[in-house]
């Protein structure tokens, strides 16, 4: 994008990125588009939830500098860039995010002592009229992302103003507050969802710590490593149905926030899932999370990204994300959706800093080799958990059988 402007903004009407300046007066945030001299004003009344304004804030980012001829080596397969899309009249150049699928390297030329890149970049578009399609372009149409995780102070202030209009809500049952984080029992998510209508929130809160594994119960999904395929499961909960799709990932840094996970996945897939962090005991040094989307296509996009053999998603310490369980076409009662069962972790946005603790490591690098070994080690741990769980259940059953008088109906 041209010019040294403060921000880029992804417009809500066409999803294109525009160079903008922002102004905050009272409770009104004005977004001034450069070039077309249009000003759009946003007020708290434009948002119906805290999630809505958080999604709005993620539409802002630092200006993406144009990729220079001498820098083309920094861009490779899997890089996310902002590029000009040639789907509009020649005088209407709009920019959208895309993933670099390939780079056709060519020797650079020199004109009047200036180096000129002759390489061709094959792009898969994340947003815009060519979303999901492949096109090729030269370096002059490619910009690099410069997202440092910081939110512009004016935008951050507007975020706080709007969020103050929506106090942190808590759903209650029998006078007891829904826990912000949740422990699941031995039957996994499917069992808990099925039983939920019969459980108090205290019962849920006292559930065993979440242990994932190959459950024999219908709809419990499957353990999955990077070679595993996803499994379609249907669960009948009765009542009016609406499809929900969820993915469980593990081996996350405990300090990672839902917004960081959400923003990272959205940046690379164009899909913005709901994210829920699950409770872990203090002696467990990793976290687990649930990603929830409302269409099968979104679910497949995220799963394909998570298990892509060309990369691993890792924290800055090298800890790789691991797909633990994938359940598709989860038929759920519209009156008791997963969103009602879980309350999203409410982050402290003081300072409005969004974590930048996640990155991709590519096949062929030492970082990839390390992530592969660590991911396999984690899956061994999860499978060992499953074996211990089965032993626990068997021994519990044996002990209860020794006291039949205590279990008569």
Q: What residues are paired with 7 via a beta bridge?
A: 20, 62
What are the two backbone dihedrals, phi and then psi, of residue 123, each rounded to the nearest 5 degrees? -115, 140
**pLDDT for 397:** 85
The per-residue pLDDT for range 326-383, each reduced to its tens digit, is: 876 545 543 344 444 454 443 443 333 344 578 888 887 888 889 999 999 998 888 8
Average of per-residue pLDDT values in the chain = 75
Q: What residues are paired with 95 via a beta bridge?
A: 17, 84
The string over 142-174, giving b where at least 16 C-beta atoms fall within 10 Å of a residue's C-beta and e elsewhere, is: bbbeeeeeebbebbbebbebbbeeeeeeeeeee
Set out the domains of the chain in order of their start, with CATH numbers: 7-62+148-165 (no CATH), 69-144 (2.30.30.140), 242-395 (3.30.70.330)
**pLDDT for 154:** 92
Whole-structure pTM value: 0.50
The per-residue pLDDT for range 195-216, each reduced to its tens digit, is: 443 433 334 333 333 333 333 3
Q: Report the 3 state secondary structure along the chain.
A: CCCCCCEEEECCCCCCEEEEEEEEECCEEEEEECCCCCEEEECHHHCCCHHHHHHHHCCEEECCCECCHHHHHHCCCCCEEEEEECCCCCCCCEEEEEEEEEEECCCCEEECCEEECCCEEEEEECCCCCCCCEEEECHHHEEECCCCCECCHHHHHHHHHHHCCCCCCCCEECCEECCCCCCCCCCHHHHHHHHHHHCCHHHHHCCCCCCCCCCCCCCCCCCCCCCCCCEECCCCCCCCEEEEEEEEEEEECCCCCHHHHHHHHHHHHCCCCEEEEECCCCCCCCEEEEEEECCHHHHHHHHHHHCCCCEEEEECCCCECEEEEEEEEEEEECCCCHHHHCCCCCCCCCCCECCCCEEEEECCCHHHHHHHHHHHHHHHHHHHHHHHHHHHHHHHHHHHHCCHHHHCC
**pLDDT for 242:** 60
8 Å CB contact between 243 and 326 = no
Residue numbers of the chain with a pLDDT score lower than 70? 1-5, 89-91, 147-149, 168-242, 328-356, 407-409
**pLDDT for 173:** 41
């Amino acid at each position: 994008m041209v010019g040294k402007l403060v921000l880029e903004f992804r417009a809500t009407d066409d999803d294109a990125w525009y160079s903008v300046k922002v102004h905050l007066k009272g409770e009104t945030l004005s977004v001034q588009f450069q070039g077309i001299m249009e000003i759009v004003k946003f007020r708290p009344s434009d948002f119906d939830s805290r999630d809505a304004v958080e999604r709005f804030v993620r539409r802002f980012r630092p200006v993406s500098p144009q990729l220079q001829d001498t820098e083309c080596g920094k861009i490779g397969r899997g890089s996310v860039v902002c590029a000009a899309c040639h789907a509009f009249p020649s005088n209407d150049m709009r920019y959208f995010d895309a993933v670099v699928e390939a780079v056709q390297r060519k020797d650079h030329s020199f004109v009047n002592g200036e180096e000129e890149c002759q390489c061709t970049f094959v792009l898969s578009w994340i947003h815009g009229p060519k979303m999901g399609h492949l096109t090729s372009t030269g370096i002059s149409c490619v910009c690099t992302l410069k997202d440092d995780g910081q939110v512009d102070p004016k935008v951050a202030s507007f975020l706080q103003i709007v969020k103050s209009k929506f106090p942190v809500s808590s759903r209650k049952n029998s006078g007891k507050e829904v826990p912000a984080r949740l422990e699941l029992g031995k039957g996994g998510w499917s069992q808990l969802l099925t039983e939920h209508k019969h459980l108090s929130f205290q019962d849920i809160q006292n559930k065993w710590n979440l242990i994932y594994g190959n459950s024999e119960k219908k709809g419990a999904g499957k353990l999955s490593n990077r070679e595993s395929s996803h499994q379609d499961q249907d669960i009948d909960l009765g009542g009016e149905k609406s499809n929900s799709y969820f993915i469980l990932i593990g081996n996350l840094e405990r300090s990672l926030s839902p917004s960081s996970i959400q923003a990272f996945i959205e940046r690379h897939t164009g899909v913005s899932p709901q994210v829920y962090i699950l409770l872990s005991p203090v002696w467990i040094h990793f976290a687990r999370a649930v990603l929830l989307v409302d269409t099968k296509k979104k679910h497949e996009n995220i799963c394909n990204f998570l298990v892509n053999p060309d990369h691993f998603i890792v924290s800055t310490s090298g800890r790789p994300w691991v797909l633990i369980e994938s359940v598709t076409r989860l038929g759920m009662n519209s009156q008791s959706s997963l969103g009602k069962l879980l309350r999203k972790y409410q982050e402290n946005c003081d300072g409005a800093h969004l974590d930048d603790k996640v990155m991709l490591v590519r096949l062929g690098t030492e970082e990839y080799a390390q992530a592969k070994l660590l991911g396999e080690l984690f899956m061994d741990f999860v499978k060992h958990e499953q074996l211990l769980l089965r032993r626990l259940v068997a021994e519990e059953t044996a002990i209860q059988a020794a006291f039949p008088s205590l279990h008569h109906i």
